[in-house]
Chains A and B, each alone.
Chain A
């Protein structure tokens, strides 16, 4: 039985359309125009226990709305959802004790107090026995290397440090299901990497179920085997990372390391050339033609080394997004 089951979930917002200018604002006092924004349209999804799933999609695609529905913060217009057997928007305490939502854009820690005080508050709210609380806190602080910052007011922490504290605050009660909404947003590469490493180690150890949204492909590559692409409130693709690469990129990137004797001008007119930095030449080839093209080159030229790669994930995903957007407009 899947741990998360979503069926035909739909949520739309009514948004006030403000016109430009003073007269329009005055008019807006009496008569307002609203536009319905369909944040999530008829989404169905199943997640098994212990899965680490990424939600990918452009801004406003409905990723965060889906996580908010799953955590019961907002009510849907239509559809059903069950997480560990609970309906999230009933907000039962039994359910709320067993999951956590971390939002990179919002913070739940007391701004003027050391993070430790917020942890203690969560301990009492979740009713975690003191011994367990101490053990979990020490373990998490150790993994994230923030023990020395525990007594510093949150407002004096860097963004990366604060995010680590947010994660600890969300994990103290050992949730079975974890929703992460852009946990690495705004962080530098090193801090991002630290958090990725932590999440990976933590998930492997606890075997909990994690849903992650992120804009950073590195997060996805490092953590998730399964990727769900959401655009315009609809699921556009659900599958492994490799499938996405296959589906949205027909090309491979070939890098040749030419022997010194080869005349480089011969490659000047190669179609889909990406980069020439002697002795390396990088170009793009359609997947099914890789064999033919390479054997042709190998027959005619001396080549020291060949690397055939998938194109960068960023590029693939951006293709996927554009395809999804286009489909949305047509549909």
Chain B
């Protein structure tokens, strides 16, 4: 028997102390596991070359059409909403931010959330539950969909070009420095966390429903509302209701708006207000909520078939 074999019993004190030291040594390395997931996904994607290329093309053409659509809209109007400050360049910064958040979600989580739903239906979640590592971590990361990453890069390019336009325009007041990248990335991450949590909660419902194929559909409905500046909702009753729902119930609006404002500064508005604080709170709160729902759901897992 090799020396690393854990002792069989913790009868005596000396044995239990060696056991503890062994456990410290044998604890999983989350970073290594994640890197292995990322690497394996890349190897897998590369082995289905055409599929990978087509997927890249599809996501990038979606971005191009999305961009084209708003170009057309801005032929008709100067800004989205009167007096909101979301003129064309500002709005494209907003759009770029959305692309970056979406790209994170679709690269790292979308395929996994769908897979999670499938694991529940087929009973293959068993394997995840057997592993000595956090189960939510294990089901959140196994597939990295590299083909969705180009959208994020396009988003970054769109932001840089628009920022450049804004800086060159003498009529605009924009105070931007290289340091803004840090609060921007921080709030983008808050956004990713909130969207991730929404997705985990949606996927967890599969445990009770037996099957949830509506993940993409739900995702589409929900993201439809976070893709616009919140000012456009704040006009009448229905708008306010939507704004309140997607700010306080499912806090997705605030996490797309805060990072975009960090860079776009519509009407020179500062991003440092209650919404910024609330975005952090929302990110932490949704993560806690998603963990709660996930663990609750696991309790009801039945492990289909043998």
Measured CB to CB, the residues of A under 8 A from B are 1, 3, 13, 49, 64, 68, 71-75, 84-85, 91, 93-98, 100-101, 103, 105-106, 108, 110, 112-113, 117, 120-121, 124-129, 132, 135-136, 153, 173-174, 176, 181-182, 205-207
Contacts of B4 in A (CB 8 A): 128-129, 132, 174
Contacts of A173 in B (CB 8 A): 26
Residue of B with least CB distance to A120: B36
Residue of B with least CB distance to A72: B129
Complex contact B132–A126 (CB within 8 A)? yes
Complex contact A127–B26 (CB within 8 A)? yes
- Smallest distance from the beta carbon of B259 to chain A beta carbons, Å? 33
B226-270 vs A, Cβ < 8 Å mask (1 yes, 0 no):
000000000000000000000000000000000000000000000
Beyond A117-B43, A135-B2, A136-B2, whether A97 also contacts B26 by CB under 8 A is yes
Beyond A73-B126, A73-B130, whether A105 also contacts B44 by CB under 8 A is no
Complex contact A96–B306 (CB within 8 A)? no
Complex contact B29–A96 (CB within 8 A)? no
Complex contact B37–A103 (CB within 8 A)? no
Complex contact A125–B33 (CB within 8 A)? yes
Q: A91-B129, A113-B44 are in contact. List 13 more A-B contacts (CB 8 A).
A: A73-B126, A84-B8, A84-B9, A91-B135, A94-B23, A108-B124, A117-B43, A125-B28, A126-B28, A127-B25, A128-B26, A132-B2, A181-B306
Measured CB to CB, the residues of B under 8 A from A are 1-2, 4-6, 8-10, 23, 25-29, 32-33, 36-37, 40, 43-44, 47-48, 122-124, 126-127, 129-133, 135, 138, 299, 301-303, 305-306
- Smallest distance from the beta carbon of A99 to chain B beta carbons, Å? 8
Complex contact A129–B25 (CB within 8 A)? yes
Contacts of B47 in A (CB 8 A): 112, 153
Complex Cα spacing A135 to B2, Å:
9
Complex contact B130–A127 (CB within 8 A)? no
Complex contact A117–B40 (CB within 8 A)? yes
Q: Which of A74, A98, A153 contacts B302 (CB 8 A)?
A: A74
Complex Cα spacing A210 to B94, Å:
59
- Smallest distance from the beta carbon of B82 to chain A beta carbons, Å? 48
For the complex, would chain B's binding face be called helix, strand, loop or mixed by DSSP majority? Answer: loop
> Can you spell out 21 A-B residue pairs with CB atoms less than 8 angstroms apart?
A3-B8, A64-B306, A73-B303, A75-B299, A85-B9, A103-B126, A108-B124, A112-B44, A112-B47, A117-B40, A117-B43, A120-B36, A124-B32, A125-B28, A125-B133, A126-B28, A127-B25, A127-B28, A136-B2, A176-B6, A206-B1
Complex Cα spacing A35 to B212, Å:
23
Tally of contacts, chain A with chain B, CB under 8 A: 115
- Smallest distance from the beta carbon of B2 to chain A beta carbons, Å? 6
Complex contact A68–B6 (CB within 8 A)? no
Contacts of A3 in B (CB 8 A): 8
Complex contact B28–A103 (CB within 8 A)? no
Contacts of A124 in B (CB 8 A): 28-29, 32-33, 36
- Smallest distance from the beta carbon of A211 to chain B beta carbons, Å? 15
Residue of B with least CB distance to A13: B302
Complex Cα spacing A106 to B121, Å:
13
Q: Which of B2, B40, B132 contacts A125 (CB 8 A)?
A: B132
Complex Cα spacing A100 to B131, Å:
9
Complex contact B131–A96 (CB within 8 A)? yes
Complex Cα spacing A71 to B138, Å:
17
- Smallest distance from the beta carbon of B135 to chain A beta carbons, Å? 8
Complex Cα spacing A40 to B303, Å:
15
Complex Cα spacing A96 to B131, Å:
6
Q: Which of B5, B10, B37, B122 contacts A174 (CB 8 A)?
A: B5
Q: Which of B6, B48, B129 contacts A98 (CB 8 A)?
A: B6
Residue of A with least CB distance to B129: A73
Complex contact A93–B126 (CB within 8 A)? no
Q: Which of A49, A121, A181 contacts B33 (CB 8 A)?
A: A121
Complex contact B303–A113 (CB within 8 A)? no
Complex Cα spacing A121 to B135, Å:
15
Complex Cα spacing A120 to B33, Å:
9
